[in-house]
Structure 1
Amino acid sequence: MGVSTAHPEPGIAVITVDYPPVNALPVAGWYALAERVRAAGADPEIRCVVLAAAGRGFNAGVDLKELQRSPGHQALLGANHGCAEAFAAVYDCAVPVVAAVQGFCLGGGIGLVGNADAVVAAEGATFGLPELDRGALGAATHLARLVPVHLLRTLYFTARTIDARELHRHGAVWRVVPQEQLGPAALALAREIAAKDGTLLRMAKAALNGIDPVDVRRAYRYEQGFTFEANLAGLGDRHRRGFVDKARDTTGNGQGEAP
């Protein structure tokens, strides 16, 4: 369990997240992921990073059980800062990042994928922000990088998900492949990228970030202020408690998505 890095081919780092049962990350997990991504980008031998996950889903956001069992606001603050660190690490990674998504990609998963440079998805993968159902706000900044604005708002207000095929039609997903081909397909794209000149790749990544119309770090931190406001108003605890209780009744684990 945790975050690991492998080097299957020269120039490529594969960072894998593994937090059973649903890859809902604790605070330490977000920081560990940020550290791995930054380390890979700082390695002069690496020219492309693949961000992957073990298990049945890519990412289910924050571990709500950790928030529920922690008194005060320290866990929430830790989750907010941890998510911001991980999302920024992907965006600021000195080399391109390819996200390989299977199963569900929810909450914080959207933050990671929305900040990646390319997305390969398995058939049946679903993407969404159930934040309003969890008493939180956030990552609309990153969903806006995947879908048009009116679809973004509809998905956000309804907490609905969208599947990989639909995202492919919108141009956000590079390829949709059978589950068993996800790893090879992501690696093939990474291999094609890593074949380029490493110095030019790093220049290109910096140039593309520099011309982005939205400062994703500032925008996401702005959103997080409303998450904290919702918690001060008692909305966060109430909605998280309802979700955790329902999840425990149906699955016995009580993990899930949050900020």
Structure 2
Amino acid sequence: MEANLLTMLQREDSNGVATLRMQRPLQFNALSEALLDALQHEIDAIAADPAIRCVVLAGAGKAFCAGHDLREMRSHPQLDCYRQLFLRCSRLMQSIQALPVPVIARVHGVATAAGCQLVASCDLAIAAETARFAVSGINVGLFCATPAVALSRNISPKRAFDMLVTGRFIDAATAADWGLINETVAEEELDAAVARKVSEIVAKSPAAVRYGKSMFYRQRQLALDEAYDYASEVMARNMMEQDAGEGIDAFLGKRQPVWAF
């Protein structure tokens, strides 16, 4: 990755956990083209790395992510430029969901527009009680169409549409109640809460988690009978994994399982 991209995103790996921290604090981690490229580069690298078992996505400074970089967008007022920008962003969001390991959004400050889309695209999200969420493009004459895709797959259509056409902010408690995030904690406890969730995930069978994430999203797009057929095949294949045999034997033997890595 080019040096200028490295300054946009910090990656730290520890015990199978990759933490990606967006590094544009003065711009509230707005998604410039360079930051989008940096995120895509790391997500692609993680997808090919069997040693990574969980990802944490965070932002430096006072905010998680303020969405697209509007100043940069206005500097290239051509339709093809905008098409390519939103396609690149959409690819990133889909890559996060397609990643074979869980991605946890660590949210503080604001998550607006494409920043809210990032939260909705992650598998799990834990936020500080002071965090706020909005898809506020409508306030500048731009309907948040691509954020609407992820948002409407997290919360009810009427709540999503309300946010999209009013641009209003919701607080962390409301976001949790609506299903946009999993949990809210005091800001000083945010890192500890994320660490607890990571620990819960990495304590499980890596094979089972990978089977599970892929299956979870695919079955949601299928008809009920197709979903059960697909889930049955996935579960049968999962049963053939060493971890499944070890886990069941450990349960029957009343001992802790030892997972294959």
TM bucket by the smaller chain?
0.7 to 0.9
TM-score, structure 2 as length reference: 0.77
Give the Cα separation in 2 of the matches to 1:61 and 1:18.
14
Unaligned runs of 5+ in 2: 1-6, 223-261
1:74: how far off? Answer: 4.8
From 11, 14, 18, the counterpart of 2:16: 11
8 A Cα contact 2:11 2:20, kept in partner: yes
Give the Cα separation in 2 of the matches to 1:42 and 1:164.
33
2:76 is equivalent to residue 82 of structure 1 = no
TM-score, structure 1 as length reference: 0.77
How big is the alpha-carbon RMSD for the aligned residues of Structure 1 and Structure 2?
1.7
- The residue identity in structure 1 corresponding to 2:134 is G
Q: Stretches of 4+ moved more than 4 A in 1?
A: none
Rg (Cα) greater in structure: 2
Residue of structure 2 equivalent to 1:179: 187
- The residue identity in structure 2 corresponding to 1:172 is L
CA deviations 1:73-116 (Å, max 9, x no partner) are: 35423421221122112111111111111010011112211111
1:136: how far off? Answer: 2.5
The structure showing larger relative contact order (alpha-carbon pairs under 8 Å, at least 6 residues apart) is: 1
Unaligned runs of 5+ in 1: 215-259
Give the Cα separation in 2 of the matches to 1:83 and 1:134.
19
2:166 is equivalent to residue 161 of structure 1 = no
Residue of structure 1 equivalent to 2:78: 72
Residue of structure 2 equivalent to 1:209: 217
User: Secondary structure of the residue that 1:52 maps to in structure 2?
Assistant: strand
Give the Cα separation in 1 of the matches to 2:77 and 2:176.
42
- The residue identity in structure 1 corresponding to 2:151 is L
Q: Which moved more, 1:71-80 or 1:85-94?
A: 71-80
After TM superposition, the structure 1 = structure 2 runs for residues 84-233 of structure 1, keeping only pairs within 5 Å, are 84-137=90-143, 138=145, 139-213=147-221
The size of the alignment, in residue pairs, is: 213
Give the Cα separation in 1 of the matches to 2:84 and 2:179.
33
Residue of structure 2 equivalent to 1:249: none
